Amino acid sequence: MGIVAAGASLLIMLILDRQLYVCASRIILRWYQCEKMPPVKYADVHRTLDRLAEKFDVKCPIPYMLRSSVPILFTVGSARKCEIVMSPRILDLLDSEELEALFAREMARVSEGSVPQNTFAALVAGIIASFSTIILWMSLLSGFGQENDPAPKFIRFLAMGIVMLPAALVVYLGSADMTLRSDMMAAKTLGNKKILISALKRAQTDMNLNCVEYFNPGHVHLFAINPVKVNSFMDVHLSLFNMKPDLSHRLRAIEGTGIN
């Protein structure tokens, strides 16, 4: 009976894991309250994505809008379909050519087949990393100080120390970092490295100057530009998620592609 029960439990876990893997992108889209971008209102975006999907020989991702004042762009999905998520800010910040260049690097990620793996890793790591915020709110709701008081912040700091390491390990071991490869593939496919370099620089500069929003660190490996910053000692755990090459390294790699 014990062996049968153990086998049944294992089978149930595998089924649940498979279902979670398939639904990971939908959960993340709901996490950020993303909405589909209407084809009529965002006709230029849809046309650009259709053109790039044909160029990269992939199924066109469905565009979604993330309500944020930060220039965010990332792709989630499964083996069947992908969704590309963008903020209004990135649409306002970049011109059409720069936007196409960043879309192209997302298409490169779809083409490489790393999107489903990275999406599932983001879901698991994001859930783990969320516990530090939950603990902060529990301390506030229990009357243990106010949000600006040091006590709840210290509690959150301790909680982050506990949960951020396993969350970072999930990202490190469970995701595939194709940042440099995607950058170079996009530049080569478009035949213009200067536009991609300009887009990355402008997005990074705007993010450094204006990003005051909180993003789950377990998700940042998905983003074209990492919005998570270490502003104080209390945020030092966030440095565990700086797994992508820094922008200067990325720009050197793009410069080395040998195209104009």
Whether the pLDDT of residue 17 is over 60: the answer is no
Mean pLDDT score, 113-138: 80
Encoded tokens for 110: 């779809």
As a whole number of angstroms, the distance between CA 60 and CA 45 comes to 12
How far CA 70 is from CA of 223, 224, 228, in Å, comes to 12, 12, 11
- How many angstroms separate the CA atoms of 79 and 241, rounded? 25
Asked if 37 and 63 count as a contact pair (C-beta separation under 8 A), the reply is: yes
pTM, two decimals, is: 0.83
The pLDDT tens digits of the residues spanning 240-251 come to 788 788 888 999
Domain boundaries, the chain: 1-260
Q: Which of 95, 102, 36, 30 is nearest to 72 (CA)?
A: 102
Write the pLDDT tens digit of every residue in 164-223. Answer: 788 888 888 888 888 999 999 999 998 889 999 999 999 999 988 877 777 888 898 999
